[in-house]
Structure 1
Amino acid sequence: MVLERRTGIPITLSLVYMEVARRLGLPMVGVNIPGHFFIAPANPDMEFLVDAFDGGEISFLQDAEATLSNIYKRPVQLDPAFLSRKQPVPPRVFLARMLNNLKQIYNLRRNYADAYAVSCYLRATRPGDLDELRDSGVFLYQLGRIPECVEALSEFLARAPADSEDVEKVRALLRSLDQRS
């Protein structure tokens, strides 16, 4: 789809860019910055980033800071040594980040079936992740799959720390479901 439509989320565009660059003899690595995904040459002497989402624009440290400041609506500063010691994003982290971005998009579009499917994939990449267990339960609720929702959210409550900020919200949702039956 990314190639056919020439559109996509930043991380899928980055994946395509990385593969093309690899085939051209310039290996690139994903740069894991919260809020935006950049890629960079694997060679540590090449200290620049590429923003695949912005048409493959070359970004230097100040450009990346400006992009992130625009996203976060506050000044962002990156450590200058960041570019010289960039570490490749491990494949599992890359996949999880891509899936998380897709889940967020589906959720915003209220496409809960696809959001739930992606949430299941995320749970497979991050076994034991309580946030993903909670999200799966909420998507099941949105889909009207109440018995599965109750099971997932009950498991969340059984495993979540008592001081977790979501525990009371999940308890309230389960109580409302009990009152409906």
Structure 2
Amino acid sequence: MPTQQLDYFTSLVAEDEHLPLTEAAVAVAQHAYPDLDVQGVLDQIDQWGNKIKQRITPDTPPIQRLQLLKHFFYNELGFGPNQNDFYAPENSYLHQIIESRRGIPISLAILMMELGQQIGLNIRGVSFPNHFMMRISLQQGEIIMDPLNGESLSKNQLQEMLDPYLDAKGYRGELSLPLNIFLRASSSREILSRFMRNLKMIYSEDERWERLLGIQERLVILLPDSAEEVRDRGLIFAQLEYVRPAIADLHHYLGEMPGAEDAADIREHIATLESQTKLH
């Protein structure tokens, strides 16, 4: 069964141009919920889309469509942040967010973007540091919106949110980066990788290796050119004592990146794993 699910995920993310972000984000959860009815979740979102469509006409201007969508999503459906447990994995599984109406910025944004698309609004995701945002182009100009509550943010507010990140990275003074660099719209693949890396971080910190492997396998599929993701899968295999696949992944990483900073550590790790296979 898991192979079928991985094949399904692979087919969803095969092409950049037609990557169905919402369906792929729902399907991510199949690693933890193998019986999940992905189509059922999408049908629920479509029902909401149909409800909003009934409130607009072809003449309804985009700004009014946005107001209707925000009211429906945050007020009527009651979506918002999970204040009590921001780092629970459930905040990144769309089928659970639809039940609880609680999520994190990126998961709420994916739902808003999908509903927006259904009523003719082009809402795009923005991989802003430490807080995912949404960007909407209207005749009145560009709006940057917080997915947690639908509030529009001014340039000053965004700069205030960005400054701690710039300080931490040393991008200040002469090296200071302009705000606009951080406000560009992200591709579906970029959004999905950030979405999945949240889960990766949570399961890594909790050392839930089986759950982590399910996410990592999908990251390798999503980002086929990333040797680091293959390395990370190898390290997870090693934790689970899947020694041979671990060795294969770590060798692949060294083959792709022989001069990597961690190359010596990885070689040492391979040597330890290979000695284990000799003992068996």
The aligned counterpart of 1:57 is: 151
Residue 82 of structure 1: how far off its partner (Å): 5.4
CA contact (8 A) 2:135 2:185 kept: no
3-state secondary structure, aligned to 2:254: helix
- Partners of 1:136 and 1:78 in 2: CA distance: 33
Conserved 8 A contact 1:48-1:61: no
CA distance in 1, matches of 2:241, 2:137: 47
Higher RCO structure (Cα 8 Å, ≥6 apart): 2
For 1:28, the aligned partner's letter is I
CA distance in 1, matches of 2:166, 2:207: 24
Q: Deviations over 1:44-87 (max 9, x none)?
A: 7533311213x33321222122223345664876635559xx65
The aligned length equals: 177
Contact 1:30 1:37 survives alignment (8 Å) = yes
2:160 match:
66
With the length of structure 2 as denominator, give the TM-score of the two structures.
0.55
Structure 2 residue 273 is matched with structure 1 residue 174: no
Deviation at 1:169, TM superposition (A): 1.4
**Distance in 1 between the 2:122 and 2:191 partners?**
16
| Contact 2:227 2:252 (8 Å CA) reproduced | no
* Bigger mean CA offset, 145-154 vs 33-42: 33-42
Quote how far apart the aligned CAs of 1:25 are. Answer: 4.4
Give yes or no for the alignment of 1:165 onto 2:273: no
Quick one: which amino acid aligns to residue 224 of structure 2? P
In structure 1, what is the equivalent of residue 64 of structure 2? none
Residues of 2 paired with 1:68 and 1:144: CA distance? 41
CA change 1:66–1:9 in 2 (3 A) is same
CA contact 1:137–1:150 (8 Å) conserved in 2: yes
Residue segments in structure 1 that go unaligned for 5+ positions in a row: none
- C-alpha distance in 1 between matches for 2:242 and 2:130: 32
**Aligned match of 1:148 in 245, 261, 265?**
245
Cα–Cα, structure 1 residues 7 and 143, in superposed 2: closer, same or farther, change >3 Å?
farther
Return the offset for 1:118.
1.4
Q: Which residue of 2 aligns with 1:130?
A: 227
Question: 2: CA distance between counterparts of 1:170 and 1:116?
Answer: 19
Q: Aligned Cα RMSD in Å?
A: 2.7
The 2-side partners of 1:120 and 1:4 are apart by: 26
Distance in 2 separating the partners of 1:112 and 1:66: 37
Matched AA of 1:134: R
Please tell me whether Structure 1 or Structure 2 has the larger radius of gyration of its CA atoms.
Answer: 2
Deviation of 1:3 (Å): 1.9
**Identity, % of aligned positions:** 25
From 35, 57, 61, give the equivalent of 2:130.
Answer: 35
After TM superposition, the structure 1 stretch with the greater mean CA deviation from structure 2, 65-74 or 117-126, is 65-74
Post-superposition offset of 1:14: 0.9
CA–CA distance in structure 2, aligned partners of residues 133 and 100 of structure 1 = 14
- The reply to whether residue 96 of structure 1 matches residue 190 of structure 2 is no
